Amino acid sequence: MEKRQTITFASLPQNVSELQALKEATLENPFEVCALVVAVLCRYETSVNDCIDMLNFLKGPQPMSAYDKQFLRDRLTGKFYKPRSYFKGTSPENNYQPTEYTVEVFDNPYSYQSEGYVTLWLVSSGADSPRQIKLRKKGNQWFLWENFLLPDIRIPKADDPWA
């Protein structure tokens, strides 16, 4: 049976210290780790360095490579709305502006196929199908292994010349 977990943040972390102060930052619940990834990616728009520092915290013993940083730059530059699309209440019509920072994360029968890894799913309000995050376990903590949240989605209405 599919498990769903809804995680709400009062505000989004702006740096590693704020991230580590969140109750979800124990990294013991993989659903919460996925929600943290969304929250952290939102920081890219205003501070690339803070975003990367926080992602490195979520990646644990394997920090971001130069390729990972280039991938983020390619996927997010000019499209900072992508991570916001994972918050409930967002849509292309409201330019992906969340009224609350609530993320729903769920698993499926294929989530636990590889020992020590889990693949969880999130819904983007700008995409037709759910997107995934793969985590890897070390000890009792889950760390970001692969992020599949950043393919293109429908553009915000404000950016659509045909709207």
Q: What is the pLDDT of residues 110-142, one digit of tens each?
A: 999 999 999 999 999 999 999 999 999 999 999
Strand 4-9: give its sheet, edge to edge: 4-9, 101-106, 117-122, 131-138, 141-147
On the 0-12 / 13-18 / 19+ scale of CB atoms within 10 A, 13 is buried
What is the amino acid identity at position 53?
D
The H-or-E segment that residue 56 falls in is helix 48-59
Banded pLDDT at 14 (limits 50, 70, 90): very high
What's the pLDDT tens digit per position in 139-162? 999 999 999 999 999 999 999 888
- pTM beyond 0.85: the answer is yes
- What integer pLDDT is reported at residue 69 of this predicted model? 97
